[in-house]
Structure 1
């Protein structure tokens, strides 16, 4: 006698569908638009896998979503300053390329910087743009970036967005 596989129960199917929808919603609210490591993930550490096949224990420790109350609003005055002349030569070269409108050596130069870390002052999406600062000896883009705002402000990070310094233009420029 051939046994047929048992039919799935409607309640079980509905529960699985709800679980998948919840997992997908959580993943979508926690993913980075630009790709790479998840925002807020320290460099040098692996980010958790972002697939719909998460284990039950993973659902209990989901990444918190980015809400308006995630961090207090910052101002540029909260950040340390660095004189343009004190930046590494590669950063000064990137600033010259930005002022000249390019050409930029990396495809992602000029991309929107979303400020997920909320270290820079909060602005609407698209306000900030990021540019790669070449790091000698690195085979990839490295950790150094220049971030500019539409209002003319400029910021420098050498630790992949973990900290920023506001760039103060030299008087003789």
Structure 2
């Protein structure tokens, strides 16, 4: 009974202090940094990501034009909070996949071919890294 009570958070009336919930770390309000602060150079990304970056910068058509360049809602809240029309997403093709896969480049602000910020995810928006040299 004590084990089950502890599992479900039921206080058995003992003198032990109640556990406190760990607090969430404060998210930095920076458009240049993802929530986890990691960066990834273009050279560290799959070659398909470099192709997408070049298409964005040179205003070329995208492989998944039905989805690419469209609104990214940041519903997961991993990227810094911005206006709802700030972020746009692009598919980074995964060789061997018949669907869009999980890899994306998400850009924010600026214009269609000159975004202010660049992010990469390979786990379908669970984590991101900043691409600091996307326009170099």
Q: Quick check: TM above 0.5?
A: yes
How many residues are matched? Answer: 103
Aligned to 1:91, the other structure's residue is in SS state: helix
Alignment-derived partner of residue 161 in structure 1: 125
User: Is this contact kept in 1: 2:34–2:79, CA < 8 A?
Assistant: no
User: Is this contact kept in 1: 2:34–2:129, CA < 8 A?
Assistant: no
User: Is this contact kept in 2: 1:85–1:170, CA < 8 A?
Assistant: no
Select the residue among 63, 78, 81 that pairs with 1:119: 78
Select the residue among 77, 88, 102 that pairs with 2:46: 88
What RMSD, in angstroms, separates the aligned Cα atoms of the two structures?
2.2
TM-score, length basis structure 1: 0.55
1:101 shift after superposition: 1.2
Residues 16-75 of structure 1, C-alpha deviations (whole Å, 9 max, x = no match): xxxxxxxxxxxxxxxxxxxxxxxxxxxxxxxxxxxxxxxxxxxxxxxxxxxxxxx95443
Residues 99-143 of structure 1, C-alpha deviations (whole Å, 9 max, x = no match): 111201101001100001111010000100000000000000000
Aligned to 1:109, the other structure's residue is in SS state: coil
1:104 aligns to 2:68 (yes or no) = no
Alignment-derived partner of residue 135 in structure 1: 94
TM-score, length basis structure 2: 0.69
Residues in 1 aligned to 2:57 and 2:125: alpha-carbon distance in whole angstroms: 22
Which ranges in structure 1 are unaligned for 5 or more consecutive residues?
A: 1-70
Residues in 1 aligned to 2:99 and 2:60: alpha-carbon distance in whole angstroms: 20
Which ranges in structure 2 are unaligned for 5 or more consecutive residues?
A: 1-24, 111-115
Higher RCO structure (Cα 8 Å, ≥6 apart) = 2
Trace 1:36-115 onto structure 2 (pairs within 5 A).
73-74=27-28, 75=30, 76=33, 78=35, 79-106=37-64, 107-115=66-74
Q: 1:77 to 1:165 in 2, by over 3 A?
A: closer
